[in-house]
Structure 1
Amino acid sequence: MMLDTSPLTAPIDRRELRAFRRTLPSSVRPGITSVILPVAFILLFPVLLILLDGDWAFGDDLSSLDLSGRIVPYLVMPLFGIVLLARALWRRNGVRTFRLDRFARANAFSYTAREDGPRLPGMIFARQDETSAFSTDIVRRESDPSFVVANHTLATGSGKQRREYRWGYVALRLNTPLPHIVLDAQRNNAWGASSLPLSLASRQQLSLEGDFDRHFALYCPEGYEADALYLFTPDVMARLIDSAALFDVEIIDDYVFLYSQEEVSTLDPARWQQVLAAVDVFCQRVAQWERWRDDRIEVDAPTERAGDAVPYSARRTGVASQGRRLARRSNLWRVVLIIPVVIVLYGLFDAMFFR
């Protein structure tokens, strides 16, 4: 797929930018008060210092000044205000959204700046104790096969317990459901730990031929090993290694998701070339994958009798219940592993310092 990435870096017509900014909702472009308040705080802070501590402001005996105790506290708040001001101005200037909108138009895509709570089945879109979730910089292609490129933020907890999880993702829509399959990219793992938000039962891991296992760990439901081999033929595996080794992949229901812990909808032209190269791998296999049928449903279908020959074209689409979701792995093993490590470390510390 050829991309026109020039709008991501080309000079901007300021009149077009001003007109575009007026169309942005407040959730994308904050109100003017978000800029005025930091500016007012920065301008009025020296006056407040004079009113609250006139002797320090006008005194001549600077030799007695405790620099660490007096100047540092007075500098922290103005610096904080400057950071807030810069952040508010950056969010209000609309340059990022303008460039992505023009990039989408140039490539016959559509662009949406933000969507709250996308209802998608992938593992990054739901988490225990979720308090908010939204996608930003959503670039869509509506033609078949359709896909979405976006960034996703999910928050859990509140106050000091609040945590935010950020992902970039690509969602490719299929015309038929497939078994739940996950490809855990090895290149983005750290210290041997998967970057995926869920732990999957190791009994579902399927080893494939060649050096594919060096790049991906493939998980499929038990009993669906032959189906995974049908979907991931040697030519598909070779292209995944070449073009998609930076992404984790999840096939679930009638979606193929590509995940990254970095933004995928971005102003970086090279990043877009990576994303679209990975999408092309799957787009070229969609026709074959949509011919896949789950024979387990054919046997269980109430309208089919044992011994009847069911034509291939008449087989029901869908996935049997045992193939719809992968089994998760309990995290109890981590606790069991940590306890003896803590005991050994405590013994070493005790032997070194208290004996």
Structure 2
Amino acid sequence: MSEPLPAPNWRTGTLDFSAFSVPNQPVEDQEVQASFWPTIPRGKPAWNSLIWLQWIIVITGYLSSLIFLPVWLSSLIGLATASGRSYPGSVSPTPILIIFGVMLWVFIGAAIWGTFRLREARNRGYLWWRLLRFATANGLTYRPWAEVTDSTTSLVRGNERFWFEDGFRPTDAPEDLTIATLVIGGDFDEFNAGERRWGFVELRLDRSLPHIVVETTARGRAVSDYGMSASQAFELEGDFPHYARVYADEENRATALELLTPDVMAAIVDEIAGFDLEVRGDRLSMTSPTMNDLAYPATLARLFRMAAVIGEEARAVSMQRGDARYSVEALAVGTPPRMRQRRIPRGAIRGFIVSGVAIVVPTIVLLILYGLRAS
């Protein structure tokens, strides 16, 4: 008798992350980039109609920084050499340094931000190549952009612009799992005003369950992101209310309690802290507005582990309590524009902080010394 085949890696959460450590292959990188460009709606997202604006920001930032840097340095030198009762010129040194320092910081920040955006735009194919290699090694498919289909999430209710970025699905069972960045668009095609990005995990259950929402208390919010009302909230025993709020209609709370077994509650606290959980129809989704960048192995590892841990328990409950009357029609298609640019890169944030410290610290020190000499 033949032994049963082992469960696919995506079901167990034990994944191969070697794709993130192998040296870059420029030829493969370019081939992957060329193959994915045609799948992105409205042309190439890295070089869209706003590319000229990024170049203006970069050039203006560097030129203005070169102009204001010597002015700011001369102001610092003047303050350092002043006796305390006299200062070159008749204007107080404090507003001069603050104005020049703030303007220099803004221009340096603009130059750093624009540079990173342009570099990431050119290197988007490198990221695609890494994620595609990771997907192939783990029996998954990867798409940098995709319409939102086969989903029941209520996060997109009332919206007409939503789509997936960096989406993964199993090759052997594509409808059983979706891991992606869910982007819910704002009011403008060219800017991301009002745009929200969610780290998104969605599992298909064996049978439909009633609408149940577990919202983390890690993020305070006045209104439920899932359209749940205060009358639908109820508390579980123990310390769990400190970590999450549970919503369900009164007649469905028995099912919610069966789903939220001690093991599931422990997993919610330990494994998916900071994530919300929603059961709607035959889908269970876990979402977070902060863990939404799938370019990092740690984020991917956590999302797939969450799917493996919670999925087993949820499928068992759906087999026992599932009912066709809870069925919800899945989304047929989203109506997204082109894939959006990524938000401010982490390197740009670090550069902005470092440059701010380099400007603020000497300014404060010299102002204190000047005040002591004047007193």
Q: Is TM (by shorter chain) over 0.5?
A: yes
> Post-superposition shift, 1:290?
2.9
> Post-superposition shift, 1:81?
7.9
Answer yes or no: is the 8 Å Cα contact 2:276–2:287 preserved in 1: yes
Give SS of 1:223's match. helix
Query: Residues 153-192 of structure 1: matches in 2 within 5 Å?
Result: 153-158=183-188, 162-186=193-217, 188-190=218-220
Query: Residues 291-306 of structure 1: matches in 2 within 5 Å?
Result: 291-293=319-321
2:325 to 318, 322, 325: 318
1:146 to 140, 163, 176: 176
Partner amino acid, structure 1, of 2:163: F
Structure 1 residues 169 and 320, CA, compared in 2 at 3 Å: closer, same or farther?
closer
Q: How many residues align?
A: 278
Corresponding position of 2:268: 240
Partner amino acid, structure 2, of 1:231: L
C-alpha separation in 2, matches of 1:45 and 1:290: 57
Structure 1 residues 11 and 259, CA, compared in 2 at 3 Å: closer, same or farther?
same
1:13-49 Cα distance to aligned partner (Å, 9 max, x none): 1121122121122555534987688669978999xxx
Structure 1 residues 138 and 41, CA, compared in 2 at 3 Å: closer, same or farther?
closer
> Post-superposition shift, 1:142?
4.3
Give SS of 1:291's match. helix
C-alpha separation in 2, matches of 1:208 and 1:41: 52
Partner amino acid, structure 2, of 1:232: L
Answer yes or no: is the 8 Å Cα contact 2:32–2:128 preserved in 1: no
Query: Residues 95-110 of structure 1: matches in 2 within 5 Å?
Result: 95-110=126-141
Answer yes or no: is the 8 Å Cα contact 1:293–1:317 preserved in 2: no
Partner amino acid, structure 2, of 1:30: A
**Which deviates more, 232-241 or 146-155?**
232-241
Corresponding position of 1:308: none
Answer yes or no: is the 8 Å Cα contact 1:9–1:267 preserved in 2: no
C-alpha separation in 2, matches of 1:205 and 1:268: 35
C-alpha separation in 2, matches of 1:286 and 1:258: 12
1:227 aligns with 2:231: no
Partner amino acid, structure 1, of 2:133: R
Partner amino acid, structure 2, of 1:88: L
> Post-superposition shift, 1:3?
1.2
> Post-superposition shift, 1:79?
8.5
2:27 to 15, 18, 30: 15
Corresponding position of 1:251: 279
Structure 1 residues 81 and 235, CA, compared in 2 at 3 Å: closer, same or farther?
closer
1:113 aligns with 2:120: no
Corresponding position of 1:213: 241
**Which deviates more, 255-264 or 153-162?**
153-162
Unaligned stretches of 5+ in structure 2?
1-11, 63-95, 329-375
C-alpha separation in 1, matches of 2:25 and 2:57: 33
C-alpha separation in 1, matches of 2:142 and 2:212: 29
1:41-60 Cα distance to aligned partner (Å, 9 max, x none): 978999xxxxxxxxxxxxxx
Partner amino acid, structure 2, of 1:149: I
Partner amino acid, structure 2, of 1:113: P
Give SS of 1:105's match. helix
**Which deviates more, 281-290 or 148-157?**
281-290
Give SS of 2:195's match. strand
Corresponding position of 1:126: 157
> Post-superposition shift, 1:258?
0.4
Corresponding position of 2:333: none
> Post-superposition shift, 1:6?
2.3
Higher RCO by CA contacts (8 Å cutoff, separation 6 or greater): 2
1:293-342 Cα distance to aligned partner (Å, 9 max, x none): 46xxxxxxxxxxxxxxxxxxxxx633289xxxxxxxxxxxxxxxxxxxxx
Answer yes or no: is the 8 Å Cα contact 1:184–1:194 preserved in 2: no
Corresponding position of 1:49: none
Corresponding position of 2:46: 30
**Which deviates more, 277-286 or 160-169?**
160-169
C-alpha separation in 1, matches of 2:16 and 2:168: 14
Structure 1 residues 270 and 196, CA, compared in 2 at 3 Å: closer, same or farther?
farther
Answer yes or no: is the 8 Å Cα contact 2:201–2:287 preserved in 1: yes
> Post-superposition shift, 1:156?
2.9
2:18 to 6, 31, 56: 6
Answer yes or no: is the 8 Å Cα contact 1:5–1:269 preserved in 2: yes
- Aligned residues: CA RMSD: 4.0
> Post-superposition shift, 1:270?
2.1
TM-score, with structure 2 as normaliser: 0.61
Partner amino acid, structure 2, of 1:7: A
Partner amino acid, structure 1, of 2:120: W
Unaligned stretches of 5+ in structure 1?
47-66, 295-315, 322-355
C-alpha separation in 2, matches of 1:268 and 1:45: 29
C-alpha separation in 2, matches of 1:150 and 1:288: 24
TM-score, with structure 1 as normaliser: 0.65
Answer yes or no: is the 8 Å Cα contact 2:255–2:321 preserved in 1: no
Q: What percentage of residue pairs aligned between the two structures are identical? A: 24
Structure 1 residues 43 and 279, CA, compared in 2 at 3 Å: closer, same or farther?
closer
1:50-104 Cα distance to aligned partner (Å, 9 max, x none): xxxxxxxxxxxxxxxxx999xx99x999996885564233123222222111111
Tell me which structure has the larger Cα radius of gyration.
1
